[in-house]
């Protein structure tokens, strides 16, 4: 089993819809969870982080964490074409000193 699993996509949603991106992880010791957005040819940019079970909202973004199910998701409300990018999930706070990144989900928002 991979340490971090994400559906590679592409996930295609119409403009204005809710995009739901999912991530499962194998290390039960993970304490923190980070979502990065990466535009094509650019470096990853941190957009959300969550440490506790439940939901965390920041503008149009909501991160949801369920540690019992080892599952973290990112919801993007009112999706815009500018949200089209690859979204990387990275659990932290494990025994490893470095973050382990999922391979990312490519999101396409259709105008």
Partner 1 sequence: DGGITQSPKYLFRKEGQNVTLSCEQNLNHDAMYWYRQDPGQGLRLIYYSQIVNDFQKGDIAEGYSVSREKKESFPLTVTSAQKNPTAFYLCASNEANSNQPQHFGDGTRLSIL
Helix, strand, coil tally for the chain in percent (to 5)? 5, 50, 45
Counting residues that bind partner 1 (by CB under 8 A) gives: 24
Does 105 help bind partner 1 (rule: CB under 8 A)? no
Judged by CB under 8 A, the residue of 46, 54, 78, 81 near partner 1 is: 46
Does 102 help bind partner 1 (rule: CB under 8 A)? yes
CA dihedral over 38, 66, 26, 108, signed as positive or negative: negative
Does 24 help bind partner 1 (rule: CB under 8 A)? no
Q: How far is the C-alpha of 62 from the C-alpha of 77, rounded, in Å?
A: 8
With contact defined as beta carbons under 8 Å apart, do 101 and 2 qualify?
Answer: no
Does 103 help bind partner 1 (rule: CB under 8 A)? yes
Does 101 help bind partner 1 (rule: CB under 8 A)? yes
Does 1 help bind partner 1 (rule: CB under 8 A)? no
**Under the rule (CB under 8 A), what is the footprint of partner 1?**
31-32, 34, 42-46, 49, 51, 88, 90, 92-94, 96-104
């Amino acid at each position: 089993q991979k340490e971090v699993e994400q559906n590679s996509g592409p996930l295609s949603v119409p403009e204005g819809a809710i995009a739901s991106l999912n991530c499962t992880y194998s290390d039960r010791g993970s304490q923190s969870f980070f979502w990065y957005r990466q535009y094509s040819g650019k470096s990853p940019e941190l957009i959300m982080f969550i440490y506790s079970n439940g939901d965390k909202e920041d503008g149009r973004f909501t991160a949801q964490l369920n540690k019992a199910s080892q599952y973290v998701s990112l919801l993007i409300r009112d999706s815009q074409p500018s949200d089209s990018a690859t979204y990387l999930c990275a659990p932290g706070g494990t025994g490893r000193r470095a973050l382990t990144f999922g391979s990312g989900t490519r999101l396409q928002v259709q105008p």
